[in-house]
Amino acid sequence: MEFTKIFTTALTLSVLSVSPLFAATADQNQVGFITKSQKQMAVVGAEGKDIVFKNSSGKDVLKVTVPKAKVWLPAGDTAASLVDFSEITTEGNYQAYLNDEPIGHPIIIANNAFEDVTKASLKFFYFQRASTALTEEYAGIYARAAGHPDTDVKYHASTGKTDTEATFDGSKGWYDAGDYGKYIVNSGISTYTLLQLYQQNKEYFKKFNLNIPESKNDIPDILDEIRWNLDWMLTMQDDDGGVFHKLTTLKFSGTVMPEKDVAARYAIGKSVTASWNLAAVAALAAEIYSPYDKDFAVKCATAASKARIWALNNEAALFEQPAGVNTGTYSDGYPIDEEIWANTELYRISKNPVFADVFKKYPFKKFRWVLQSWQYTYALAAFTIATNPEIFDTDIQDSARACIFSLADTILNSLDNNGYGVPLLEEDFNWGSNSFAANKGMVLIHAYILSKEEKYLNAATAIIDYILGRNPLNISYLTGYGVNSAKNPHHRPSQADGIDEPIPGMLVGGPNYSANDCASKYVQYDAVARSYYDNSCSYATNEVAINWNAPFAYVVGSLQAISTTGKTYDIKTVPDHFMEVADGIKAKRNLQKQISVGSKLIIRNGAVQVQKTDRDGKIQYFNVSGKHIR
């Protein structure tokens, strides 16, 4: 792309032109700024002096006096000044100067400044595909052979299966992180986040080309990519409706390419949290995919119902790592938030009051609201409730909005007396600190959708600026993007493929003051935002993961989509009674009886129904709870 070539050349010239003896420094987003967005850089050592911004012709376009320097605690005792140059709204290349010396990196301002990183962060999921070869046409130099077909997956004893010779087809799905495991719980929040990105920005993403094998069909590429993982998630549902917790080998593989990891793969455990995750994601997917593939929508709706019924009847089925297994655990001893989330998604698409009973069982306003993660999914329910005001009761809406704005305003408050303009606290710099940043951005985007207040959009922009370079280490944490980007992620394909540059578009974990691997020697307790080691040996600071890339893609993609279309999500409602799903043990028995020879699930009159043909050829219709429909 021509824009990328110009950008790369400009960056190279800048690095060569900056004098190493120059005292003042500037940290900034190294990729680019959207034309009409907030634009800031953190400058150290220039308080009270004037910074002049010049265009590519050398003409002065803006002069800013550097404000008072302030300490941002995670950066230690280095005081920085936040210099705002948002007044520059003309596309082009710029450079900041202090005393006629260039400071910081070249500044790229463009209407589509975030488009390439949005594509790269979504294309990451294609590079994480299991059970398929990545061809040169779509993967370029990162083409690789197929690994982990997962067509004959064994059942570990922890699943409750007694036939040691039995297998099932658990193909497709995304590798979870730097390893080759596939985990339902982490897939849940990752898939939901990407579905939300599409749901809230359909106009932008309908024609978004990711250059994946499905790009020539009539379905948006982002939905095709998500479908690869949804197809796998559905294979993990047992006949009784419960969902296996993970699909992995018994031990992590070595640093090899996927096709070299040939150890036996197992479905391991069956858990209530995995079941609730599938119920939530499949419910949302049923609505989103209905215009493109009604049969698949029915399949998702049915799976969501069955998973919910199983989870309600197996509340104590918490996952415990079996002896002899040492792959990722994703154990969660408190499944109530997942139950709320799943029933919220089911109620949104069906308006079936039985799903709203969860709000009587667990009053929404009584919970302590925390940032979303694979362990804590209350906020995911709040996102859905708050953006669908015509569906949920007023008091529940109020609680959901209170959750979002409480979190968002707390994030905004952390910007006070903050020289880097980064809404992160010292305690955020733990394992996967960049995911904390991205998930905060997701909260801020929702606050903006609900309020249309620019302060929330600006704070979300600041988070992207931090990830892409406005940080004390002057590093872009997204591989392949920025003058000084992460080069050595803990990611088996990138480590084993023999290619110097890692796969682009991967968000590494980031600074971690609790690092206990090879990065431990870089931990700085008095400057936690510097506790980072760009080395593949450091899983604690440099691993990648789908649940880290997903919120980054959500935030950067939402910012670009909002700017491009000039629109935010329409929060009216989804169509009435999109579907009805089963409830309770009786419904489960009825559903099992109806879905047999001579019966099939269809979408009719906007709802999922069972079409049953008797021996005489007479057709009758039932809802999935077994009630006859005339």
Contact 380, 189 (CB under 8 A): yes
Q: Report which residue type is found at 356.
A: A
Q: Which two tokens stand for residue 258?
A: 């996927």
From the candidates 225, 238, 543, 580, which is the catalytic residue? 543
d(CA 173, CA 247): 10
Closest by CA to 103, choosing from 81, 119, 120, 79, is: 81
d(CA 148, CA 376): 30
Burial level of 564, CB count in 10 A (0-12/13-18/19+)?
middle
The dihedrals phi and psi of 181, each to the nearest 5 degrees, come to -80, 160
Contact 268, 322 (CB under 8 A): yes
Closest by CA to 385, choosing from 345, 440, 355, 354, is: 345
Dihedral angle of Cα 379, 384, 387, 388, to the nearest 10 degrees: -140
From the candidates 27, 115, 150, 179, which is the catalytic residue? 179
**Which whole-number Å values give the CA distances from 600 to 298, 525, 583, 621, 626, in the listed order?**
10, 61, 19, 10, 13
**Helix, strand or coil for residue 218?**
coil
Q: Which residues pair with 98 in a beta bridge?
A: 51, 101
Burial level of 200, CB count in 10 A (0-12/13-18/19+)?
buried
Helix ranges restricted to H, 369-432:
378-386, 394-413
Q: Which two tokens stand for residue 11?
A: 């960056």
**Number of neighbouring beta carbons within 10 Å of residue 64:** 18
Tokens 């803990």 map to which residue? Answer: 490
Helix ranges restricted to H, 472-545:
492-496, 539-542
Neighbour order of strands in the sheet with 50-55? 33-34, 101-110, 92-98, 50-55, 60-65
From the candidates 156, 245, 490, 491, which is the catalytic residue? 490
d(CA 218, CA 226): 15
Q: Which residues pair with 93 in a beta bridge?
A: 108
d(CA 415, CA 419): 9
Q: Which two tokens stand for residue 282?
A: 């499949």
218 is catalytic: no
Q: What is the DSSP string of 488-521?
A: --B-HHHHHS--SSPPTT-B-----TT--SGGGG
Closest by CA to 132, choosing from 149, 117, 119, is: 149
Contact 189, 379 (CB under 8 A): no
Diameter of the chain by CA atoms?
Answer: 91
Q: Which two tokens stand for residue 36?
A: 């009409």
Dihedral angle of Cα 545, 551, 555, 561, to the nearest 10 degrees: 90
543 is catalytic: yes
Q: What is the DSSP string of 132-147?
A: S-B-HHHHGGG-B---
**Strand residue runs (E) in 263-393:** 266-271
Which residues are known catalytic residues? Answer: 179, 490, 534, 543
